[in-house]
Amino acid sequence: MTKAPAERRHRARWDAFALIVLAAVAGCTSRGPTPERAVGDAASPAPTAQQQADDAPPAAAADPLRSWNAGDAKDAIVAFVARVTRENGPDFVPPAERIAVFDNDGTLWSEQPMYAQLAFALDRVHELAPQHPEWRVREPFKSVLAGDTKKALAGGEHAVVELIAATHAGVTTEEFDAIVRRWILTAHHPRSGRPYIEMVYQPMLELLAYLRANGFKTFIVSGGGVDFIRPWAGDVYGIPPEQIVGSRAKLKYEVRDGVPRIERLPAVDFVDDKAGKPVGIQEQIGQRPIAAFGNSDGDFEMLEWTTSGPGPRLGMIVHHTDATRESAYDRDSAIGTLARALDEAPKRGWVVVDMKRDWKVVFSFEAQ
Amino acid sequence: MTKAPAERRHRARWDAFALIVLAAVAGCTSRGPTPERAVGDAASPAPTAQQQADDAPPAAAADPLRSWNAGDAKDAIVAFVARVTRENGPDFVPPAERIAVFDNDGTLWSEQPMYAQLAFALDRVHELAPQHPEWRVREPFKSVLAGDTKKALAGGEHAVVELIAATHAGVTTEEFDAIVRRWILTAHHPRSGRPYIEMVYQPMLELLAYLRANGFKTFIVSGGGVDFIRPWAGDVYGIPPEQIVGSRAKLKYEVRDGVPRIERLPAVDFVDDKAGKPVGIQEQIGQRPIAAFGNSDGDFEMLEWTTSGPGPRLGMIVHHTDATRESAYDRDSAIGTLARALDEAPKRGWVVVDMKRDWKVVFSFEAQ
């Protein structure tokens, strides 16, 4: 039977979202629940950008981009900000139009060895398992519970769709917010053993603060779920919920037993990746950014849309070149594939940040 | 033939949007293009809230709500703001959570005798007619061109869908932005003869500024098209594009002849009305507001969602009671029907603003 066009579009949205998550298959290490991820194991939250600014010694505070080494990337940022903020200058941009957009995974925090949101989904399976005895014999849940992530995700898109539906839906938006808040404070990154919120890039925190100090509004435009990022982005990045754009589940407002609620449905409403990023930007931000920061081909269209407007524009790609301090990957990686955007960066004037060369520190905890 | 569920949903979105616009049928006066709406007839833009604050004499400036008469409505606003801003008080709300949402049509500006967006669509038909000779013999365009709005809209939802598709799609988002900007500066309200941007309510401009001065973020949550409001809401209301939530057309990003563009498709993506308002709020604002301002049953769910959260909440309904200075209508009006929200206001603690009694002036031009 031939599917109706709208049905096919609906299915296509699921597939697109599943593909984003599936990219995480490669490089996944088998993992079960470990003591450090147990609920209640409260970790100290990472210092916020503001706290870090407050704590900085006076000498270091003189350079707002102190974790950036001198070089082309740092120069490009400083020169761009100087151009657009110089009043009466030929390239002056009024503050209302100083819109900067940032991808999240791989641009503001680590995405290797797997997206944090997938780690969250896998942890949720463990947490919800007691209420789902049938999962003990049903894939992909059976393999997740056995700690075999690779086998769990071997079911492809269908497996991912099942995992996301089972772990991201069937709760209200406020319940989901609380679940994410609890997880982000207690879960630990599988390689560093650090809380996820410490896996943010110190140079990018400084860049966010530097842009805001110069009248920019900073936005996240992520392929990840918007409701997975919003609960902690205020504390960690200094970015309020309405300035986070991401992929979305379908939502339904209803009054149940006299109590108004917004339910998360097991259906994908919007995939904010690739050509979806400019659409998400227009829908939610409503104007074309003048600066865009990404790290993968999923950010290509966002960079293209941002930098093809008139006047001064800044497009920047974080290139993961540092296997010692973080990870080294680009065109052959299933997560954060970077090929076309890297190839076209020179002719498009996009600045490539060489993480190893351009960043004095990657994570704030390195200095400890 | 039975339609597939997804197709039915798609159709339902169109119908819902058409119904919003169709409400404008009642009360429509026949109108054709008139000289004062000709393109190029630049009207003075309405003073912005900031300009008005700057222009105000020192004595009047002492009361930020100077166009509000003393009474319960004004008292409720001032008391609510005092409660949530009193540091160390029991009801203190941090600035990041001081989210206030405003309906647009009938709450911030006039919606009678027809929605401005419908007037815009009708004007667009006249403007585009030379490129569409077939419209001379095809409804609903034929009647629009003959100046018979009632007859044009007699075709019901189908007619409205045709009008919106023909006048709001097939252009890029940036072209549409420019079209709206030009229209809003040159079109005039059919009753007052004033530019539309002067049809905003002076007391509500003061309320927006008062809330912002007290650390609130102000948002518009409108059943109207988001891209119809954004081009002028910054100047008129002091609200930036990302703080406007509204109904949306489907968008498509593409590169055509080497130029990136976002095309407005002739399809409705989201209807931000009734139960859609809390969903639109969650999608775009990402947190539950603490204050909501509406004027019709289309705002019921937004008021309900806002005021049913914990802690101090303010729900307010602008009741159109002033036939002399503006319009008097509620439960029997097809535009801005107000029945259930008015009936339930007392038990829900929603404050009803009696426009005639509570507003010293309605429009800023009254004082001239």
Tens of pLDDT along A177-197?
A: 999 999 999 999 999 999 999
Closest residue of A to B303, CA-based? A260
Of the candidates B22, B294, B59, B51, which has an alpha carbon nearest to the alpha carbon of residue B140? B22
Interface of A with B in 130-189 (CB under 8 A): 173-174
Q: What is the enclosing helix (H) or strand (E) of A237?
A: helix A226-237
Distance from the Cα of B242 to chain A's closest Cα (Å) equals 4
CA distance A244 to chain B (A): 8
Q: Are A217 and A243 in contact (CB under 8 A)?
A: yes
Two tokens, residue B136:
């001379």
Per-residue pLDDT of B144-199, as tens digits, reads 999 999 999 888 878 888 898 899 999 999 999 999 999 999 999 999 999 999 99
User: Residue B3: pLDDT above 60?
Assistant: no
Average pLDDT over residues B124-152: 95
Mean pLDDT (chain B, rounded): 87
Per-residue confidence (pLDDT) for residue A7, from 0 to 100: 55
The pLDDT of B113-135, averaged and rounded, is 95
In b/e form, how buried is each residue of A138-173, taking b as 16+ CB within 10 angstroms? eebbbbbbebbbebbbebebebbbbbbbbbbeeebb
Contact B253 A279 (CB under 8 A): yes
- Please name the residues in contact with A239: beta carbons below 8 A apart, sequence gap of 6 or more: A208, A218, A219, A220, A233
Residues of B in contact with A14 (CB under 8 A): none
Averaged pLDDT, B222-239: 97
| Whether the predicted pLDDT of A4 surpasses 90 | no
Q: Determine the Cα angle at B337 with ends B156 and B196, to 5°.
A: 80
Rounded to an integer, the average pLDDT of A166-171 is: 94
Shortest distance between the Cα of B251 and any Cα of chain A, in A, equals: 6
Instruction: Give pLDDT, residue A14.
Output: 57
User: Looking at the predicted complex, does its ipTM rise above 0.85?
Assistant: yes
Helix (H, G, I), strand (E, B) or coil at B72: helix
* Higher pLDDT pick, A234 / A36: A234
pLDDT for residue B33 = 29
Residue A6: its chain B contacts at CB < 8 A?
4, 6-7, 9-10
Q: What is the pLDDT at residue A161?
A: 81
- What pLDDT does residue A40 have? 29
How far from chain centre, in Å, is Cα B344?
Answer: 23
Nearest-angstrom CA–CA distance, A204 and A218: 12
Chain B residues with CB inside 8 Å of A226's CB?
A: 283, 286
Task: Tell me phi and psi for residue A40, to 5 degrees.
Answer: 105, -15
Q: How far apart are CA A265 and CA B334, in angstroms?
A: 33
Element (H, E) at B20: helix B5-22
* C-beta atoms of B7 and A7 within 8 A: yes
| 8 Å CB contact of A242 and B3 | no
Average pLDDT, integer, range B315-321? 98
Closest CB to B286: pick one of A241, A254, A285: A241
pLDDT of residue A106: 98
Cβ contacts of A227 within 8 Å, gap of 6 or more = A173, A176, A177, A180, A246, A248, A249, A264, B286
Query: Residue A13 — pLDDT band, cuts 50, 70, 90?
Result: low
- pLDDT: which is higher, B100 or A155: B100
Does residue B11 sit in helix, strand or coil?
A: helix
Which structure tokens are listed for A30?
């088998």
Nearest CA in chain A to B254: A275
Tens of pLDDT, residue by residue over B241-295, are: 999 999 999 999 999 999 999 999 999 999 999 999 999 999 999 999 999 999 9
As a whole-number percent, the residues of chain B with pLDDT over 70 amount to 83
Provide the strand spans (E) within A140-258. 217-225, 244-256
Q: Is it the case that residue A31 has pLDDT exceeding 70?
A: no
Calpha distance A142→A148 (Å, rounded): 9
pLDDT, residue A136, reads: 95
| Whether A173 and B282 lie within 8 Å, measured CB to CB | yes
Instruction: Outline where B87-191 has alpha helix (H).
Output: 116-128, 141-145, 149-153, 156-168, 173-186
- Chain A residues with CB-CB distance to B258 below 8 A: none
Q: Which residue of B has its CA nearest to A227?
A: B286
What mean pLDDT do residues A154-166 have? 85
Strand partners, A188: A195
Return the C-alpha torsion angle B5, B11, B12, B18, nearest 10. Answer: 180
Contacts of A231 in chain B (CB under 8 A): none
Cα separation of A218 and A234, whole Å? 12
Confidence label for A39 from pLDDT (cuts 50, 70 and 90) = very low
Give contacts of A 303-332 with B, CB under 8 A.
304-305, 308
- Contact at CB, B262 and A4, closer than 8 angstroms: no
pLDDT higher than threshold 70 for residue B53: no
Q: How far is B99 from chain A (nearest CA, A)?
A: 11
